[in-house]
């Protein structure tokens, strides 16, 4: 009878212990459920960030096999090339890309560069970043943006600049840009020659105050600036100027004021020509009449 009582007491004690274990296990399960939910939320946020990127993302292994692609890249490729060689999936090449920077990336370097893909002839800006895994292995992540339009704009801008530079350098008329406070910002070779300077650089260095150094009557500079301020442009403005050697010439100017978004004049730019011969002819005709 005594042994039976002990057995019942031992059984109750064991059941009580099992209840506690069940409670502890339930707590553990709840903890891991919460961790799993937090991990799912975190992954959803990460996926949202990846898909929000307005370019292409892929990850590849050290042996060039694709491990991940974002949806934009999958759409460009036409399928999900998981496990395929990146050079084949990205550029339709049969071997490693000649421009590949994997060696640098897998040494721990982040590499930024531009490449033109033979697959679609587009230009891409690429940021390659090493990814270190907990087990010591590494992968490469590439974030890629199509910069073809930007490249085309750069090319068009360069051609326009070259065209403008050709006109600026070879024009027979003087071309200038000047600040409202009386300094030249740029002059072309023809203008330097008109004023007797050996080069545009020499003229820019030699003129610190247009009003006092060039205008025979400095008040005409005030008239010039006031007209541009009021009307925004001036045409056929004539005044007498000094050349570098002190001789005087008559100049005719067509110019405009370049303004900022608030309407303030940033600088003046225009064309000018030497009309001294015409003034001398008028003077001679006048003397003849007398």
Does residue 162 lie in a domain region? no
**What is the pLDDT, as a whole number, of residue 77?**
87
**What is the pLDDT, as a whole number, of residue 119?**
83
Does residue 35 lie in a domain region? no
Name the pTM for this structure. Answer: 0.56
Do residues 135 and 239 both lie within one domain?
no
pLDDT along the chain (290 residues), means of 10: 61 66 71 69 67 86 93 89 92 90 93 89 93 91 93 91 90 95 95 96 96 96 93 94 96 95 91 92 65
Tell me the CATH number at 255. Answer: 3.30.450.20
Q: Strand (E) positions, 106-150?
A: 111-116, 123-132, 138-146
Tell me the C-alpha distance between 244 and 25, whole Å.
98
* 26 DSSP assignment: H
Strands of 233-242's sheet, edge to edge? 184-187, 174-178, 265-274, 248-259, 233-242
**What is the pLDDT, as a whole number, of residue 12?**
63
Do residues 178 and 284 both lie within one domain?
yes
Do residues 198 and 136 both lie within one domain?
no
Do residues 175 and 141 both lie within one domain?
no
Do residues 109 and 210 both lie within one domain?
no
Do residues 139 and 174 both lie within one domain?
no
Distances (CA, A) of 170 to 110, 166, 174, 188, 252: 46, 6, 10, 8, 19
Host domain of residue 94: 50-149
Do residues 96 and 200 both lie within one domain?
no
Do residues 124 and 178 both lie within one domain?
no
Do residues 86 and 176 both lie within one domain?
no
Tally of structural domains, the chain: 2
Do residues 279 and 191 both lie within one domain?
yes
């Amino acid at each position: 009878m005594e042994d039976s009582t002990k057995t019942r007491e031992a059984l109750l004690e064991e059941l009580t212990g099992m209840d506690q274990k069940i409670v502890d296990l339930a707590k553990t399960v709840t903890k891991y459920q919460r961790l799993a939910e937090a991990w799912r939320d975190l992954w959803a946020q990460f996926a949202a960030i990846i898909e929000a990127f307005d370019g292409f993302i892929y990850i590849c292994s050290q042996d060039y096999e694709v491990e991940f692609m974002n949806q934009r890249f999958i759409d460009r490729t036409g399928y999900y090339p998981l496990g395929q060689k990146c050079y084949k999936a990205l550029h339709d090449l049969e071997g490693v890309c000649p421009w590949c920077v994997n060696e640098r990336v897998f040494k721990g370097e982040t590499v930024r560069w531009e490449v033109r893909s033979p697959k679609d002839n587009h230009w891409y800006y690429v940021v390659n970043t090493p990814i270190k895994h907990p087990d010591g292995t590494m992968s490469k992540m590439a974030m890629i943006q199509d910069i073809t339009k930007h490249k085309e704009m750069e090319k068009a801008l360069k051609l326009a600049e070259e065209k403008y530079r050709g006109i600026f350098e070879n024009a027979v008329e003087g071309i200038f840009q000047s600040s409202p406070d009386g300094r030249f910002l740029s002059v072309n070779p023809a203008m330097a020659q008109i004023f007797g300077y050996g080069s545009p650089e020499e003229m820019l260095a030699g003129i610190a105050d247009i009003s006092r150094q060039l205008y025979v009557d400095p008040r005409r500079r005030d008239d010039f600036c006031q007209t541009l301020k009021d009307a925004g442009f001036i045409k056929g403005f004539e005044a007498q100027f000094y050349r570098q050697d002190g001789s005087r010439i008559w100049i005719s100017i067509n110019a405009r004021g370049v303004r900022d978004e608030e309407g303030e004049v940033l600088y003046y730019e225009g064309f000018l020509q030497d009309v001294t011969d015409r003034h001398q002819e008028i003077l001679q005709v006048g003397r003849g009449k007398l």
